[in-house]
């Protein structure tokens, strides 16, 4: 099976997923797509010899990206730090085959603007004792798709957004690829 990863940033989750599937052979990451021309995830794609494509919002909202995914025989889409809302045509073309990872325990701390340090700061400011990750299906709304998996971590009394981010990254790297594999094997 072929996986496409959409990412807007550095791509640490993308690299963890690539490394995982390079060892298991259940699937392969065949395409990296980014809306940010200088995103470091593109360097990671180059390092692994994976085709990468930079696209605009108009290309995403047209049928160009759906056509590109089909041309590359993509079976499954993973959003790994991708910050744009998925358009209805793409969600319809890959129903129940697009997943996202969110750096908090949804349904709390989700929605537009809830990404990266914004999430971690909001969690700490709200006085939460736990945070974690949520892997969920993607629909046409931010962070509202059905939840597939969650993992939690405790928040210490002196937690900072940066220290919480480290805990969340550890959970992401531990669980994301395994959940993807489980979903692919169930297909």
CA distance 68 to 31: 10
pLDDT for the residue 111: 92
**Among residues 102, 120, 136, 173, which one is catalytic?**
102
pLDDT for the residue 187: 72
pLDDT for the residue 155: 98
Q: Consecutive 10-residue runs of the chain (187 residues): their mean pLDDT?
A: 96 96 94 97 97 97 96 97 95 97 96 93 97 97 96 97 97 97 90
pLDDT for the residue 149: 98
**What is the number of domains present in the chain?**
1
Residues 6+ away with beta carbon under 8 Å from 161:
117, 120, 121, 124
In terms of DSSP bridges, do strands 51-54 and 28-34 run parallel, antiparallel, or are they unpaired?
parallel
Query: Scanning the structure block, which residue is given the tokens 């990750």?
Result: 133
102 catalytic per annotation? yes
CA distance 94 to 33: 16
Give the structural domain span for 181: 2-186
pLDDT for the residue 25: 81
CA distance 53 to 72: 12
Which helix (DSSP H) or strand (DSSP E) does residue 171 occupy? helix 161-186
pLDDT for the residue 21: 97
> Which tokens is 91 given?
């969600």
Instruction: Return the SS3 of 52.
Output: strand
Using CA atoms in the order 3, 92, 173, 21, what is the torsion angle rounded to 10 degrees? Answer: -20
Residue 3 CB-density burial (10 A; 0-12 exposed, 13-18 middle, 19+ buried) = buried
Specify the CATH number for the domain of residue 108. 3.40.50.170
β-pair partners for 98: 77
């Amino acid at each position: 099976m072929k996986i496409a990863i959409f990412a807007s940033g550095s791509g640490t989750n993308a690299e963890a997923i690539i490394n995982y599937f390079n060892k298991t052979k259940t699937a392969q990451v065949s395409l990296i797509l980014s809306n940010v021309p200088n995103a470091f995830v593109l360097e990671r794609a180059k390092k692994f010899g994976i085709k990468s494509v930079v696209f605009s919002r108009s290309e995403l909202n047209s049928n160009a990206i759906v056509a590109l995914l089909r041309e590359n025989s993509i079976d499954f889409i993973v959003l790994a730090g991708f910050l744009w809302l998925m358009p209805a045509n793409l969600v319809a073309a890959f129903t129940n085959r697009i997943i996202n990872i969110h750096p908090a325990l949804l349904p709390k701390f989700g929605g537009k603007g809830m990404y990266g340090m914004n999430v971690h700061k909001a969690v700490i400011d709200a006085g939460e004792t736990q945070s974690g990750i949520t892997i969920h299906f993607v629909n046409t709304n931010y962070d509202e798709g059905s939840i597939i998996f969650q993992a939690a971590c405790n928040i210490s009394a002196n937690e900072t957004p940066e220290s919480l981010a480290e805990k969340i990254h550890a959970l992401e790297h531990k669980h994301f690829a395994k959940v993807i594999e489980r979903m692919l094997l169930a297909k």
